[in-house]
Structure 1
């Protein structure tokens, strides 16, 4: 697994922005504002991005596009994510989806 924490753009300093590769077959992206308190600021709910956690994302540019409004993207990050995937290929248990019931 890899995890890259990105520097937020101005105006998004409260956000934690992360992308990476999970060897369970997906790139992922997360944008979360951990400082938001719904009790003190109920009318200004922050943006939240969670990509690749429940469905597979197989192109690193997809997760980078999702976080681009919030973070500065290093120019070599897509290549680094591909290298992360190559270094940590999908685990054999997750490499091929199982056949639907009744099909072989």
Structure 2
């Protein structure tokens, strides 16, 4: 999901550039840093710290709405998806552990 969000940030950066919301170097610098951070965070999800980084990046994406108001909506949708993914992923992991303990315990 973080990689998909990185693509959305690329398109939002292109939109901001087309609308000339800020100098191109600023837009591409901030947008590129956010895209790179999202992709790197996706690779960090094997460790618990990756989830913290991903959560912080959700706030950063949401804050891009200050420059491009539609990103409040898009960022909000991704925040909801992130929270749902965290909750469902936790539930799936818990159920797998329980099933594994039942199988090995018999």
Length-normalised TM-score, structure 1: 0.35
Q: Which has the larger strand fraction?
A: 1
